C-alpha cells in the first residue's frame, strides 16, 4: 500500500491516462486478482478499487471478477455497524 492506502489494484484501475490496450489492462488486473488482491480493500478515502476506477473498461473488468468471500463480507459488516467481535 502507498501512503494513501492504495493497493496496486487501486493504482492500475485509477491510472489517469486512458489505457488503449485492453488486453494489457485486463492481464494486469487479472494477475493482481489471481495473486490475492482484495477487491474490497479501501484506501484513505474509503474507495474500493471499483470506486477508484477511472475508466468504464476497468470497472467492467472488476465487476465481472468481483467475488467477495464470506470473511470479507463479515469484516465489512463489522466495520459498518461497529460490532464487537472476538
Give 16's pLDDT tier (boundaries 50, 70, 90): confident
The mean pLDDT value of the chain amounts to 86
**pLDDT at residue 18, rounded to an integer:** 65
pLDDT digits (tens, 9 = 90+) for 49-78: 999 998 888 888 888 876 667 877 788 788
Residue-range domain boundaries for the chain:
8-80
- Report pTM: 0.74
Q: What 3 state SS string does the chain have?
A: CCCCCCCHHHHHHCCCCCCCCHHHHHHHHHHHHHCCCCCCCCCCCCCCHHHHCCCHHHHHHHHHHCCCCHHHHHHHHHHHCCCCCC
Amino acid at each position: 500500500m502507498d501512503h494513501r492506502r492504495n493497493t496496486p489494484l487501486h493504482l492500475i484501475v485509477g491510472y489517469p491516462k486512458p489505457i488503449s490496450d485492453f488486453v494489457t489492462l485486463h492481464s494486469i488486473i487479472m494477475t493482481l486478482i489471481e495473486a490475492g488482491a482484495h477487491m474490497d480493500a479501501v484506501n484513505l478515502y474509503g474507495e474500493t478499487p471499483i470506486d477508484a476506477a477511472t475508466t468504464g473498461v476497468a470497472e467492467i473488468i472488476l465487476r465481472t471478477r468481483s467475488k467477495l468471500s464470506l470473511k470479507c463480507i463479515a469484516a465489512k459488516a463489522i466495520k459498518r455497524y461497529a460490532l464487537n467481535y472476538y
